Amino acid sequence: MGKKYTIGVDYGTQSGRAVLVDLSNGHEIADHVTPYPHHVIDERLPGSGIKLEYDWALQHPDDYLEVLRTSVPAVVRESGVNPEDIIGIGIDFTACTMLPVDEAGEPLCFQAELADQPHSWVKLWKHHAAQPEADKINRIAEERGEAFLARYGGKISSEWMIAKIWQILDEAPDIYEKTNMFLEATDWVISQMTGNIVRNSCTAGYKAIWHKRDGYPSKEYFKALDPRLEHLTDTKLRGEVIPLGSNAGGLQPSMAEMMGLKPGIAVAAGNVDAHAAVPAVGVVTPGKLVMAMGTSICHMVLGTEEKEVEGMCGVVEDGIIPGLFGYEAGQSAVGDIFEWYVEESLPAYVKEAASKEGLSVHQWLEREASAYKPGQSGLLALDWWNGNRSVLVDTDLTGMILGMTLLTKPQEVYRALLEATAFGTRKIVDAFQESGVDVDALYACGGLPQKNRLLMQIYADVTKREIFVADSKQTPALGAAIFAAVAAGKEAGGYDDVVTAAQQMARVKEETFKPIPENVEVYEKLYQEYNLLHDYFGRGENDVMKRLKKIKLSTEAELKPVR
Ligand SMILES: Nc1ncnc2c1ncn2[C@@H]1O[C@H](COP(=O)(O)OP(=O)(O)O)[C@@H](O)[C@H]1O
Ligand SMILES: O=C(CO)[C@@H](O)[C@@H](O)COP(=O)(O)O
């Protein structure tokens, strides 16, 4: 059998990327990025121009198909590989990114008469407007002593499936009624490729409170939330849940023609971006925490037992690598905070200086900030620009910078923001370690490790652990290609299991980031201060952030009153 290939498609927050991968060694032969034509929809609906409320974030489902129409043919063309030798395709997605579909499996927002209704669109993972529903989900689960809560660090996030569905029911009962099924976007795209609607065990487990042995929470629990939700899991959340690496069905001829692929090739079950990255950096055993570092960070680590970890996003058996418990935690904004600073808060002279030197603003700030020692700026920040996902699980928390003076420089603020995100990661590492889930080393992938060396050194110093960096430009997409190779199977030229596939196809760079002892010492002191602020503002001692948000919402006349 000659060389065989698979395609992995990574659906990020702002764009989708396809890679064509050689199965013998994991080399990415070609890659192509398609920015989403409609971007993140957080102000007005496309077409109708309807204004969205605060904390909303939507996407356009056709943007996902555009990635298949554009990026897949592009990688086939660019690689020169014969489509006969491409034996499978896999995807990974942001999550929980979900949408309501009709009987034909079509998004409700595609129906002209529903297109002006915000709730008919795709809710992106960072849609945070379902916090009131999430609060009730948690309160009622606690009151009833629901065992599932412990598997989600004690709290279900407003980013996840049930809160988003309940928000639709609360605010647009007609859309809820018209919905045949609520799907993760990753499962919807797979259904478009195969003609079958199946749910993948990863998003079902992490985002929709599904358990391999117990299934979904009981009908009584859903009834206690809202009587109209009693039969949700048998109706609008129904459908077979299939394990990662399964073949979700053969590629339909019309889709094969659109993408320039062979009809009938294996289409792997959908997956989550961060989770797909784990085997793609070669992590298939416990003790190695993988950080998918981009606009946000997802932290994944494997274990042999189910442990309770405060504020983790979830622990799911087989949720990342079959045979192991996959743990996930996360920070909802990391690169997004740096982008906010660069776009919204930087003096013009920095932009001019950077452009004079032919550097990006980030590069200029990184160089200038590198000249400082840990602690030298006198600044300390809380990294909650997009709420706190772990360990506090509270999207109503906000960001903060402490220690500013008239002499504070932009590069000092930039460095303080990098450090704040590192402290957030340290908090997560500590939470795992203290609960008996070992974290011996860190593995980094995503856009940030390639872009900012200072950031990576700070993470090593703050977490006191060596960091290995993915040697792949598109790690989640490589992961999706690995799962596609498993879905295709050995007989077709792929692999029988994820561990073998990862051993052949994954790699990290030789150079690593190691903690520098003198930096570690100062950062340990700063981290203790961060911890004090974290608990003071985040654990209820001073709810000023929440009060400010309430005042803000109540003053915005065109918004509904706070629920
Ligand atoms: N040199 C840099 N240093 C730090 N952050 C950067 C730099 N360049 C870009 N970013 C941030 O990286 C983020 C994009 O990360 P990336 O991994 O490419 O995307 P995504 O999260 O969508 O997969 C943006 O939020 C941007 O602000
Ligand atoms: O929440 C998850 C995974 O559980 C991510 O999809 C979400 O944070 C988005 O990740 P990106 O920042 O787009 O890489």
Token pair of 258, please? 């659109």
User: Ligand 1 pocket test: which of 13, 93, 97, 295 has the largest number of ligand atoms within 8 Å of its C-beta?
Assistant: 295
Per-residue pLDDT tens for 7-59? 999 999 999 999 999 999 999 999 999 999 999 999 999 999 999 998 999 99
Residue 501's alpha-carbon distances to 226, 301, 498, in angstroms, are: 45, 19, 5
pLDDT in tens, 484-503: 999 999 999 999 999 999 99
Q: What is the CA radius of gyration of the chain?
A: 23
Which residue has the least CA distance to atom 6 on ligand 2?
94
* Contact assessment for residue 313 and residue 389, using Cβ atoms and an 8 Å cutoff: yes
Question: For residue 475, is pLDDT > 70?
Answer: yes
Contact 279, 21 (CB under 8 A): no
Total residues belonging to the chain: 563
* Mean pLDDT calculated for residue range 454-476: 96
Sheet of 181-184: strand order equals: 58-59, 122-123, 98-101, 181-184
pLDDT at 563 over 60: no
Domain boundaries of the chain, sorted by first residue: 5-274+475-508, 283-471+516-563
Would the CATH topology of 5-274+475-508 be identical to that of 283-471+516-563? yes
DSSP classification of residue 295: S
Q: Rounded mean pLDDT of the chain? A: 96
pLDDT of residue 306: 92
Task: Tell me the fold of 5-274+475-508.
Answer: Nucleotidyltransferase; domain 5 (3.30.420)
Q: How far is CA 550 from the centre of its chain?
A: 27
Q: Tell me: the pLDDT tens digits for 194-224?
A: 999 999 999 999 999 999 999 999 999 999 9
User: Does the C-beta of 336 come closer than 6 Å to ligand 1?
Assistant: yes
Instruction: Dump pLDDT digits (tens) for 244-298.
Output: 999 999 999 999 999 999 999 999 999 999 999 999 999 999 999 999 999 899 9
Query: Residue 361: in which H helix or E strand, if any?
Result: helix 361-370
What is the DSSP code (8-state) at residue 41?
B
Per-residue pLDDT band for 557 (boundaries 50, 70, 90) equals low
pLDDT value for 562: 39
**Per-residue pLDDT, 97:** 98
Task: Say what the ipTM of the complex is.
Answer: 0.94
**What spacing in Å lies between the alpha carbon of 117 and ligand 2's midpoint?**
25
Question: Ligand 1 atom 27: the closest Cα is on which residue?
Answer: 339
The sheet that has 325-331: what strands, in order across it? 314-317, 325-331, 297-303, 287-293, 439-445, 467-470, 508-513
Q: For ligand 2, is residue 412 a contact (CB within 6 Å)?
A: no
CATH fold for the domain made of 283-471+516-563: Nucleotidyltransferase; domain 5 (3.30.420)
pLDDT digits (tens, 9 = 90+) for 55-73: 999 999 999 999 999 999 9
Q: Which DSSP state fits 402?
A: E
